[in-house]
Amino acid sequence: MALALALAQTCGCPGDEPPPEAEPWVWELPVGFPEPFVPPENPMSAAKVALGRHLFYEKRLSVNESSSCGSCHEQARGFADGEATPVGATGDAVPRNSMALVNIAYMPTYTWVNPTLLTLEAQALVPLFGEHPLELGVTGHEEEILGRLRADPRYVEMFAAAFPAAEEPLNFDNVVFALASFERTMISGNSDYDKYVYGGDAEALSAGAKRGMALFFSERLECYHCHGGINMTAAFFGANSTQREQAFFNTGLYNIDGAGAYPPASAGLVEFTGREADRGRFRAPSLRNIAVTGPYMHDGSVATLEEVIAIYAAGGREVKDGPYAGDGRANPYKDPLVLGFTLSPEEELDLLEFLESLTDEVFLTDPLLGPPG
Ligand code: HEC
Ligand code: HEC
């Protein structure tokens, strides 16, 4: 990942300076939302966001012009893709579920489990340049792909507008900067839940959703410990944060060998830390727009929200057969908050109704986040 290193050290390159004539960026944030963190080497600008949106949906960015970021991150699905696990541009199987992208500007670390991806800039290098698995497949084809963009007068113009101080603005560092700037604008805070909690609209939630909300925030179900806060996840990092609130937990989905093993493709945080206690730990996802982002979990192995609730109610998942059989409920590394509980059928419906109230139709249909015309 030579480019990753280069990028980490680019602060100070002439092309990365904020152009003096650029309009200052003004965040239009939902009520109750703090300012997100923006790395100083990539200040926000309207021109970068506009360019980033084009690049996010640009299939010419992939080796064979077949895929874009938007292929695995569809707006109507909360920027997830409806598949258990996706395939890359050339057919590589990607072992993890395409994540919903929501309020990602506020994440302290990126992806289901990698604690070392600290910025959206660093994360974007993975789908662009990663080879195992290959997602967009840029590596080895950099000049060819840049050539495609340079041949399009619209891109020449947009890169020049987004990076006015750079002599040759159309390069991959700037592709990454623009993508990350666009991604920081993917902000969702217009759900019925937001209207109720932050907007002061007592009528925004149905009686059932209100009962479900009480269950979600109860010590009986414990959901809120890991999925609380502005983004419905304990993971948080904002402009004024003094530390990255990390949130990696083992929820008892597997226990292949009785000693806590998860399937080899995704062993959890232990892959990065080498600590046994981190086996099966993944980042608690945001539950915003959760009704439209299934299938669920890091490997897409849970099809519906009803099943998710049943797993938590049982205190984990017993996988009855197949290569990954084992009793996740007895996983020795399972978080003590995943204890199990009993819900009446009405309570289950209430909890579902609450989870559905986290859907933000404005976000899912906002033309500014969709493919450019
Ligand atoms: C082949 C499908 C695929 C493509 C193409 C793809 N992604 Fe993803 N994306 C994923 C998967 C799978 C994950 C979870 C990866 C993991 O946990 O290892 C993910 C995770 C992410 C995350 C982390 C979100 C979070 O909450 O931490 C971001 C951001 C993201 N992708 C942005 C992008 C961008 C930008 C592009 C285009 C440059 C892109 N993706 C292209 C499948 C894809
Ligand atoms: C100990 C922390 C913890 C508790 C308690 C907890 N969760 Fe989770 N939740 C997680 C983690 C971590 C994941 C991802 C696990 C994985 O993929 O291996 C997750 C995944 C989910 C998902 C799937 C999200 C997606 O995008 O795929 C849903 C839905 C969910 N939890 C709802 C709930 C509900 C409802 C409760 C309460 C009954 C709850 N959670 C309690 C940590 C927790």
Mean pLDDT of 37-51: 97
Mutate to test the pocket of ligand 2, among 271, 308, 354 (most ligand atoms within 8 A of CB): 308
pLDDT at 9 over 60: no
Q: What is the pLDDT of residues 111-170, one digit of tens each?
A: 999 999 999 999 999 999 999 999 999 999 999 999 999 999 999 999 999 999 999 999
Determine if ligand 1 sits within 6 Å of the CB of residue 104: yes
List residues bridging with 326 in a β-sheet: 319
Report the candidate in 222, 226, 242 with the shortest Cα–Cα distance to residue 234. 226
pLDDT at 23 (0 to 100): 74
pLDDT at 11 over 80: no
> Domain spanning 2-188: which superfamily?
Cytochrome c-like domain (1.10.760.10)
- Share of residues in the chain with pLDDT > 70 (%): 94
Q: State the chain's mean pLDDT as an integer.
A: 94
Cα(127) to centroid of ligand 1, in Å? 6
Mean pLDDT of 224-230: 96
Local structure of 315: helix, strand or coil: coil
Report the candidate in 60, 70, 55 with the shortest Cα–Cα distance to residue 174. 55
Task: Please state, in angstroms and rounded to a whole number, the distance separating the CA atoms of residues 235 and 203.
Answer: 29
pLDDT at 16 (0 to 100): 54
pLDDT at 6 (0 to 100): 42
In the chain, how many H helices and how many E strands? 14, 4
pLDDT-derived band of residue 8, with 50, 70 and 90 as boundaries?
very low
**What are the phi and psi torsion angles at 206 (to 5°)?**
-70, 165
The domains spanning 2-188 and 205-361 adopt the same CATH topology: yes
Q: Which helix (H) or strand (E) holds 248?
A: strand 248-249
Pocket around ligand 2 at a 6 A CB cut-off: 100, 221-223, 225-227, 249, 251, 253, 282, 284-285, 287, 290, 293, 296-298, 305, 308-309, 312, 335, 337-338
Determine if ligand 1 sits within 6 Å of the CB of residue 261: no
> Domain spanning 205-361: which superfamily?
Cytochrome c-like domain (1.10.760.10)
Report the predicted TM-score, pTM, of the whole model to 2 decimal places: 0.94
Mean pLDDT of 244-272: 97
**Tokens describing residue 294:** 């299934």
Structure-model confidence comparison of residues 335 and 15, the more confident one: 335
Report the candidate in 43, 67, 46 with the shortest Cα–Cα distance to residue 55. 67
Q: Where are the domains of the chain?
A: 2-188, 205-361
Determine if ligand 1 sits within 6 Å of the CB of residue 69: yes
Q: Residue 87: nearest ligand to its CA? A: 1
List residues bridging with 302 in a β-sheet: 296
Query: Distance between the two ends of the chain, CA-based, in angstroms?
Result: 34
